[in-house]
Amino acid sequence: MQWIGLDLEDINREEQTIKIEYNPNRPDFSSPEGIARALQGYYEVKLGVPTFDIQLGEVVLNVDPSVKKVRPYIVCGIIRNIDLDEEEVATLMNIQEHLHWAVGRDRKKVAIGVHDLDKVKPPYRYTAVKPDSVSFTPLHGDGYPMNLEEILLLHDKGIEYAHILEGKEVYPIIFDDNNEVLSFPPVINGVLTTVTDETKNLFLDLTGTDFNAVNLALNILSTTLSDMGAKIESVTVNYEGEKEIVTPNLDSTKWQVEIDFINSYLGLKLTPSDMIKCFQKVRIDAKESKRKGFLDIYIPAFRGDIMHPVDLTEEVAIGYGYFNIPKTIREGCIGEYHPVQVFSDKIRTIMIGAGYLEVINFILSSSEKQYTLMSQKFNESKLIQIANPVSKEYNTTRTTILPNLMDTIRFNRSEEKPIRIFEVGDVVVLAPKEETGAKREIHLSAVSYHEDADFTEIRSTLDFIMTALGLYNEFEVKVGSNLSYINGRYGDIYFKGTKIGEIGEINPEVLLNFKLEFPVAALELNLEKVL
């Protein structure tokens, strides 16, 4: 599997199964069919862009202009003669959720609806309505009709995805010709169109905020179902008053790339025919261009990961085989660790020696975690706000590591005590007023959680760190104040007259915010000011 960039985790010979982990930059690998399609090329069973027959269908979906206010794009497709057993239905739902994750940003960018085609009547209508104006029986509900507002308040999926529609005056919905509800995207389908192992024909609707993304997800899903033995049929999507499109559209996308560009990146001297063969092995078509020294490349419609000529260079490398590329060491190109990394690793060794366990958290955080839960006064001017966050949990970058460690303890508070953990990692802080932008800093934060955790313990840890670094006589702790800590059991850490961190016992109010029942003693240091 490593030949096509997949990590092989386990092989179960008794059950004849393998377990792999795929990278989200290849969402077409979200199904066994997509992986098999790639392996066919690698083993030269089938080469070049796969071909899929699309029957021209008569089904129409009309798009009302009102959806522009909430979720403007939709593409559709029909899958006929599908033969699903119970296990394959579950696989289909699994592929759907993988695409929601890899392409759809957890449904915010793309949401997928899969319906039993034979239970509804075309033409279909995609429109936007007032939250309390339409009721239907949602899938996985209690079996009773609910209006759209009630679904967002009471239904499990409604609660989970209500944030996507937050602040919208109207909500998107899909009706059939009998005014039956197919779907309330991006939240839940109607129970009417539930897919079972008796289903023979499917209707696919994909809505979202990015046309290229919804189109890619449709192409991946429809080609996957085609590889499962079904027939693809097109749907005419009529954007009323604007344009009419037919989907899915599986035409390849043409690129041009310079032959010398690829060879220079790979350190090879491949001929045009060699490169063409490499491209064919990764299920891409290529031919010599009329433009001298270039190749015309044709990317299949289910590949959404090609964004730059360098990506095509990677495809040639995969087709050629990374293990076939000769290993060379260029003069003057021997690397070494950055001094900050060397120092960080030294700190990690010291902390492990002090009896602490290392954890790693995301650099993205939330303003609530950084301020509210830490009992700090909110200061927006100190935060970098994410313009389009995936969720409120990750709407900013962290300015300190301590809130992440408090959260880690919260999730592990039932484990055996004491819990002593640390993290060496990045924080992002805004530059001073006289400068612009932001800068990265490397911090160390450590916490101890148990019934006897106190200032003396964490001060001993700080002394141990400074002694191990040979800096014991160059730092001091001065009395200070910090809302996250207990007054009188907190100090500012100074190194050669410059403040480099904080140390103390965490305020009981903060402990309650993180649902902790024992004391926490903590410290945080800016390591770059100690170098």
Q: What is the pLDDT of residues 144-183, one digit of tens each?
A: 999 999 999 999 999 999 999 999 999 999 999 999 999 9
What's residue 391's pLDDT?
78
Query: For residue 42, how many C-alpha atoms fall within 13 Å in the half-sphere facing its CB?
Result: 16
Is the N-terminal amide bond of 123 cis, ω within 30° of 0? yes
DSSP state of 371: I
pLDDT, one tens digit per residue, over 498-525 is: 999 999 999 999 999 999 999 999 999 9
Asked if pLDDT for residue 34 goes beyond 70, the answer is yes
How many Cα atoms sit within 13 Å of 459 on the Cβ side?
A: 13
pTM confidence score: 0.68
Which of the four pLDDT bands, split at 50, 70 and 90, describes residue 298? very high
**For domain 339-529, is the CATH number 3.30.930.10?**
yes
What mean pLDDT comes out for the span 474-480? Answer: 94
Summarize the confidence of residues 64-89 as an average pLDDT.
92
Evaluate the omega torsion of the peptide bond into residue 24 and state whether it is cis, within 30 degrees of 0: no
- Cβ contacts of 271 within 8 Å, gap of 6 or more: none
Quick check: bond before 186 cis, omega within 30?
yes
Q: Which residues pair with 28 in a beta bridge?
A: none
Pairing state of beta strands 202-208 and 73-80? Answer: antiparallel
Q: What is the mean pLDDT of the chain?
A: 92
Q: Are 115 and 183 in contact (CB under 8 A)?
A: yes
H/E stretch holding 129 reads strand 124-129
β-strand partners of 127: 173
Angle between helices 32-42 and 272-281 (to 10 degrees): 150
Fold topology of 258-324: Phenylalanyl-tRNA Synthetase; Chain B, domain 1 (3.30.56)
Would you list the DSSP string of 263-283?
HHHHT----HHHHHHHHHHTT
Q: Given the structure tokens 């239970």, which residue do they identify?
A: 119
Per-residue pLDDT at 434? 59
Q: Is the pLDDT of residue 323 over 90?
A: no
* Residue partners of 510: CB distance under 8 A and separation at least 6: 373, 374, 375, 406, 484
Q: Which two tokens stand for residue 342?
A: 């060397």
Fold entry, domain 50-247: Phenylalanyl-tRNA Synthetase; Chain B, domain 3 (3.50.40)
**Residue 501 token pair:** 């961190």
- Cis, bond preceding 418 (omega within 30 deg of 0): yes
pLDDT band at 381 (very low <50, low <70, confident <90, very high): low
- pLDDT at position 186 is 96
pLDDT above 90 for 16:
no
Strand 231-233, strand 54-55: pairing: parallel
336: region left, alpha or beta (phi > 0 left; psi from -120 to 50 alpha): beta
267 near 316, Cβ under 8 Å?
no
- Domain positions in the chain are 50-247, 258-324, 339-529
How many other C-beta atoms lie within 10 A of the C-beta of residue 165?
21
Average pLDDT over residues 361-366: 92
The CA-based angle 59-61-64, given to 5 degrees, is 165
Position 17 confidence tier, pLDDT thresholds 50, 70, 90: confident
> Looking at the predicted structure, is the pLDDT value of residue 436 above 80?
no
CA distance linking residue 439 with residue 124, whole number of Å: 51
pLDDT (average), residues 362-374: 91
Does the pLDDT value for residue 2 go beyond 70?
no
Q: Degrees (nearest 5) of the Cα angle 355, 358, 364?
A: 150
Least confident of 108-122, 132-146, 337-351, 383-397: 383-397
pLDDT in tens, 186-228: 999 999 999 998 999 999 999 999 999 999 999 999 999 999 9
Q: Is the pLDDT of residue 330 over 80?
A: no
